[in-house]
Amino acid sequence: MRLTYFYTFLRNLSFYVHHTMRGVIEMDDFEKYLGEQMKDEAFRKEWEALHDTEFYDGYEGDPEYVLECEDSASLHIWEGYLSDILNPPCAAPWRGFTRDYEECVRTYDDDAAEPVALDAQEYLDDLRGYAGRSFEFAESEAVRARICDFLQDAIAKHHSVHAIRN
């Protein structure tokens, strides 16, 4: 996939962020710029291909869990799906998502403000332990499978993965 539009946008984003932080450009100007870029069909398709929001759309404003890969791909998930997947937890010793969730550490630490680097293999192995379970939400198994695919892709590409709760 050619990412010409997206990389042009990233270059411009860097410019806008730098100048917005310095007070040279107002945030409203950046939002206007982004809105103009999203009108371009090719740009919007590239943006949507990199930023998977399927499992967060409709939950805007609710807690969000975001996985980010170093190739700029991201997966946005409504936190309710993860809570559904991780309850009840797999047997101890906990690892990956289960450990973070049950012990309120790393991304589940309420004071965590920065993305946390994940060991993609550890987190993938943890989620595989939840395969075949029954969940409260019909979408939870699809979310679990999509996270596994995201992590497997990152591992295959030797890319780092970060996560943050918003």
Report whether 23 contacts 64 (CB < 8 A): no
Q: What is the pLDDT of residue 133?
A: 94
Query: How would you classify residue 120: left for phi > 0, otherwise alpha for psi between -120 and 50, otherwise beta?
Result: alpha
The residues of the chain scoring below 70 in pLDDT are 1-28, 30, 43-44, 47
Q: 93 is written with which tokens?
A: 């010793």
Q: What is the pLDDT of residue 21?
A: 54
Query: How would you classify residue 57: left for phi > 0, otherwise alpha for psi between -120 and 50, otherwise beta?
Result: beta
Which residue in 82, 28, 117 sits closest to 19, CA to CA? 28
